[in-house]
Structure formats: structure tokens, C-alpha cells
Amino acid sequence: MKHDQVPAELLERYAAGDPGINPDELWAVEAHLEGCASCRERLGAAVQRQSPATTALLARVGDRLAAEIAISTTMPRRRRGQVLGRSRWLLPPGLLARLAMTVLLVLAALSLDLVDQQGRGEYPSLVLLFAPVAPLLGVAAVWSRRLDPAYEFVMASPRAGLYLVLRRTLLALMVVIPALAAAGWAVGASPARWLLPCLAFTAGALALGEVVGLSRAAIGLAAAWVIGVVGPSMLTATSPVLLAPGALPAWAALTAVVAIVLALRRDTYTGLRSGH
């Protein structure tokens, strides 16, 4: 039950530094003053009346402060919420570089597809073939000593964990998937065909990364796909079975299983390892 004002006499005694104030009243006054600007204003006046020592102290400090701020500057202005925003959505420079590389690769694949379409159009779409593993180049940089300069700090921190990795991965996907969608739209490779495999590979890299390291897992899976599916597919100029519409339910099931495995093993990517 809060009252509006501290009674005048009590305020004067508090300002004077009176040691005889009842403990409960003292407590109430101090708790109240923290929330009430008008009582603080009144206290200011009371201090001038009641306590020359405090007034002198305040004047001394005020002078020193005025001298200090005349010669030192405040920090640069920043946008609202910049600390949290910057930290929460921060992408290490290595990841940004990898994402840029990925977009370039998508563009390269798109160009080759367009050239092919101008010609005899006999090859399957490179954009489609590349799409499932496109994010992996970026995912490899999400939790990497080489590509994240602050890795030492991140992996030793309380916030290290699957959630942090997922957030960075999500940001990577938010760059790569629209790029793929745009490129795919240009050559008729709709997201319906590659989105699920894309998610399956991403989740798979995260899960496998717990065992062999995220970088290795991501690059390994990407390499396996390129060698095992993209290569033969281009050589034989046929669309891979794995990307046929009939295979989509299998991809969906795979993604679900991997996602469940990830969710169950939430104590991962904590940076605590066995010293190799």
C-alpha cells in the first residue's frame, strides 16, 4: 500500500541524516524515494535546509563533474536496442563470407542452367541439384574455430548451446533459401522439389556435427551429395531419383527423425569436449 508523499517532517529528518528514525519508517522512506520523483525533488530542497555537509559534498562533486565532462565525451549515439539486437542476431564474419559465396554459387548455377536452356536443354537443373546442400557452406561456419574469431568466447559461455547454433543456422537459411527460390523460379525448379531435402541436410549436418564437428559434418555431407548424386546426374544427364517428387515423403520422414534426435539431445554444442 503506497502513499503519495513522504510526510514533511520525516523527510526533513531523513535529509538531516537523523539516526533516530524508526527502522521501518526508514525502510519505507528509502523504498518510496526510489520510485517517486516529486519526493526526491522535495528531498533536494530539504537537504539544502537541513544538511550543510551534504550540500557542500554535492557542490564539490558537481564541480568536479562539470570539469570532467568538459574534457571527455560521451559515447557515440547508437540506435535503440542496438546491444541486444547486435548480439542476438550477430553473424560472425566467416559466416557472412560463406553466405556471400553461396549466393554466388547459386548465381553461377543459374547462369549455367540458363545457358543450357538456351541450348539443347538436356541437363537437369544445376540449381535444383545444388539446392539441397546450398546452406551447408554457411552451416559449416556457424560453429567453427577457423571462421568465427570469437569462437573461444562463444563456446565457453553460458549461452553456448544448440539454441545459439540454431539461431545462426536460421539466419543462414533466411539468406540462402530466398536466393534459391528466386533462382529456381527462373529455371522452373520450384521449392516444392528441393526445400525438404534442403532442410533434411541442414538438420542432418547439425545432428552429425555433434559427433564429428559441425564444419566437418556440413562439408562431408555436401561432398557426399555432390559426388554421389550431382556428379552421376550430370554425367548421365538424368534427373536424380532422390529429387523425384515420389521421394519427398521419405525426405520429410528423414527430416522429422533428425529433428527429433536434435531436440532430444539438447545438451549439445556447449563447447565442452574431451580434449582432442
Partner 1 sequence: MGAASEEWLVRRVADGDTVAFEELYRRTSPWLAVRLRRRCADDELVAEVLQETYLTVWRAAAAFAGTAIGGSAVGWLWTIAARRLVDAYRRRTREANLPPTVFGPEIVPAAEDEALRDTVGDEMGAALRRLAPELRQVLQAMVLDGLTVRETAVLLGLPEGTVKTRARRARIALREALS
Partner 2 sequence: MVRAVDAAETAPTSYAWAIHAEELKVRAGRRMAVDGLDLRMGTGVHGLLGPNGAGKTTFMRAVATVLRPAGGRLTLLGETVNGRFDLRGLRRQIGYLPQEFGFYRRFTVREFVEYIAWLKEMPSRDVPGAVQRAIDRVGLTDRADDRMRTLSGGMVRRAGIAQALVNDPTVLLLDEPTAGLDPDQRLVFRALLRELAVDTCVVVATHLVEDVAAACTDVVLVDAGRLVFQGLPADLAAAGADVGATGADLAADSPAERGYSIILRRHRERIGAQP
How far is the C-alpha of 217 from the C-alpha of 265, rounded, in Å? 17
Q: CA 85 → CA 81, 94, 165, distances in Å? A: 6, 19, 17
Applying CB under 8 A, the span of 7-15, 119-127, 253-261, 263-271 interacting with partner 2 comes to: 263-271
Considering the complex, what minimum distance in angstroms separates the CB of residue 149 from partner 1? Answer: 23
Nearer to partner 2, 117 or 151 (CB): 151
Of positions 40, 49, 88, 265, contacts partner 2 by CB under 8 A: 88
Stretch that binds partner 1, among 61-69, 158-166, 230-238, 260-268 (CB under 8 A): 61-69
- The verdict on 89 binding partner 2 (CB under 8 A) reads no
Read out DSSP for 234-250? HHHT---GGGSGGGHHH
CB 170 within 8 A of CB 178: no
Binding window for partner 1 (CB under 8 A); candidates: 38-46, 98-106, 113-121, 175-183: 38-46
DSSP state of 129: H
User: Which of residues 12, 49, 52, 64 is near partner 1 by CB under 8 A?
Assistant: 64
Least Å from the CB of residue 176 to partner 2:
22
Q: What is the residue-wise DSSP string for 161-208?
A: SHHHHHHHHHHHHHHHHHHHHHHHHHHT--HHHHHHHHHHHHHHHHHH
Residues 228-267 that bind partner 1 (CB under 8 A): none
| Torsion, CA 237, CA 238, CA 241, CA 243, rounded to 10 | 80
Give the DSSP letter of residue 7.
-
3-state secondary structure of 1: coil
Q: Could you give phi then psi for residue 7, rounded to 5 degrees?
A: -60, 145
| Contact between residue 255 and residue 196 where contact means Cβ atoms under 8 Å apart | yes
Dihedral in degrees, nearest 10, Cα atoms 31, 34, 36, 42? 90
The answer to the question of residue 81 lying near partner 1 (CB under 8 A) is: yes
Q: Which does 2 bind (CB under 5 to 8 A by kind): partner 1, partner 2, none?
A: partner 1
User: Is 80 near partner 1 (CB under 8 A)?
Assistant: yes
- Residue 121 backbone zone (phi > 0: left; psi -120 to 50: alpha; other: beta): left
Contact with partner 1 (CB under 8 A) among 12, 23, 108, 259 = 23
Which partner in partner 1, partner 2, none is near 159 (CB below 5 to 8 A by kind)?
Answer: partner 2
Per-position x/- string for 146-185, each x denoting binding to partner 2 as judged by CB under 8 A, each - no binding: --xxxxxxxxxxxxxx------------------------
Question: By CB under 8 A, is residue 265 in contact with partner 2?
Answer: no
Contact residues toward partner 1 (CB under 8 A) are 1-3, 6-7, 9-10, 14-15, 17, 19-35, 37, 40-41, 43-44, 47, 51, 53-54, 57-58, 60-62, 64-66, 68-70, 72-78, 80-85
